[in-house]
A and B are shown apart, each in its own frame.
Chain A
Amino acid sequence: MKQKSISLITIVVLFAVAAVMPAVLKQYHLNMLTEIIIFALYAVSYNLLLGYAGLLSFGHASFFGLAAFATAVSIINIPGLSIWNVILISVAVTTLAGFALGGLLLRHKGAYFALLTLAFNSILFAIATKWHSVTGGDDGLSITRPDLSLGFTTIPLASLTNFYYLTLVVLGLAIIFCWYFTKTAMGQTVLLMRENEDRMKFLGYNTNISRLILFTFSGAVAGLAGIFYTFHFQFVSISAISGDMSTTVLLIAFVGGTKKFWGPILGAFVYIILQNYLSDVTDRWPLVMGMIFVLMVLFVPGGLSDVITNLWHKFFGKKDDKDGKLTTAEEVRP
């Protein structure tokens, strides 16, 4: 079980490095890192659809935004609600939404499915814009992060460092669970369906239900990211549920690479950092992102993670690579 111990070491090292970050980074950069973790989870959830199941969605912000709003609305309307209950309510809302939307949309495949996700995202965006009394419409909603109650003690989350640690632990664990999920019976079923759906049916798998479960799960995870998005900014506006937010996650996942589990995480780093620095240099930065995206579609369909893996192969040879942390346990394809 060499592979297993390598993945375990990788995880422990990554957590350890992340844990010392508050001591190393300035506030500004710690803020950025928190945002990266949030978008990493969002992109990982998206890649469960795109990379694993081959489902192209242009409406993933439906879930991200729904949870972001559910969080703000529940905090504002139910005074004294604990942070765990906020998370519980919001995840429940997105899970239900994922189940309902999935039931309606998954009857279609390919381009048709992609188009419908876009359309339903637009409906939700329109509702969020128009339903001013609840969502605040164009003005958005401001909240204060509730404190973290652990039973024996209460930790104030007003401090960025504390919030960073909460984000790291909760979302980090969620990412690890997603990774584990890809190895489980369900995760493998979804993966094999993309490869040969017909055969899966003839082996007794109900492929429609599998897709629905995956879609719901992916939506719920995106929701968790959405919750922390609201916590992080202590504000939510309609942009959280907009088509742009759906495009963003597509860009992140694709640029990072959809064929590896860690691709979208890498994508989140690249995207958020580029966003922060490019937007200082040029206000045409979405154009730059778009160009990068199209060039990658044309020439590097495997994204950055593929480039890195190939370089690794080149410099360290195939044999070493077998033990390298980059390509072993995290390969999407079994």
Chain B
Amino acid sequence: MDKKRTDKEKISATKEDMQTDTRREFIRTAGLALIGTVFGSRIVFADKMPAGLIPVAFTDHPTGFEIPGKHAGLVVLNDKPWNAETPPHLLNDPITPAHKFFVRNNGLVPENINRNNWTLTLEGESVEKPVTFTLSDLKATFKPYTYQLVLECGGNGRSEFNPPAKGNQWSVGAVGCAAWTGVRLKDVLEHVGVKPDAVYIGYYGKDLHLSRDPNKVVISRGVPMHKAMEEESLIAWSMNGEDLPLANGYPLRLVFGGWPASTSGKWLYKIAVRNKVHDGPKMTGTAYRVPCNPVAPGQKVADEDMCIIEGMPVKSLITYPKTGAIIGAERLLKVNGHAWAGDLSVAEMHISIDFGSTWQKCTLGPPANRLAWQQWKAEVKFPERGYYEVWARATDSRGRAQPMVVPGWNPKGYLNNACHRIAVKVK
């Protein structure tokens, strides 16, 4: 870098940048006036602010940015677009509360949502005839169902891959299990009429591309017909008995438990029934794909050798206690958490306090329904004082257990289901 450059040259942004910056300054100034007038002198960023009213300019940079309606303890990885994960100790509830549910957005949250004129259209090569429903049509025509379903970001755990994979560096908290209410996608597809050649469904949502180009689709993924036709696959409008949070897809979204959460399209307004594997943005290339055959860390993989991720692998979390616990001379510790296994269930749960030399079996509860996470608990007795780590390992119904090391490297850093662990000190 030439140190002799003048400041002016250093900031020699292109014309487009200058325009963007000017526009942003304008939005910011206008936004300040707007907030001042609408809310008088008091500004509340959190849940008291009507969802969606925060001008996007305000989400740009504020220090200690919090996502509206979300718990202040969530770790914001990215404030444009909104991406935040939940530290494990905040995930202790069997049903994850809305304000603790992680946020993974690829684009900007849609503005000016009016659920009264929100519609969902089913179309594509493999529907008999395109049909459009209003939200009340959906509720009136089909029977509602509620299921507790795990949603986990495909890239949860990405931060541990080496060489590093690009993207949001999730640690372990891009996961949650809420009670979702909606209609079965299957019922809607059967009502509309699906041709025998149907292969895949693809969703379209109202989120806005980061470039703010309204014609650019942010993300449009989906699932094969067999997953779409499962009883637990929902078109949902409610989370834990309330409207969906804005950041989690209000007013309508798909929910496919146990699959990468990116298949569960948010701000849903269109479902295309395709006669081939859906080819929307983030379905193709390397997005949400892993090498079809294992590769060495850092190896280049051609697009055609990458396969779409379907069910997520077995995984578990220690949600109590929070890591860093110092306990006294009684040397006893109660630990508990959740375990889940993609399309399967969890068969066994173990913990180790000696880095895997010995494993102790935990008490494991059944799932509330298929694809819900399961609660486990155990009591540990530490042999003497010192530094320990409690490691948790779940085993799925087909006998596959979580690895203690980071599993197979892949270019985009998906599917890290390595054991979760917490640090404990005995005085």
Whether chains A and B associate is no
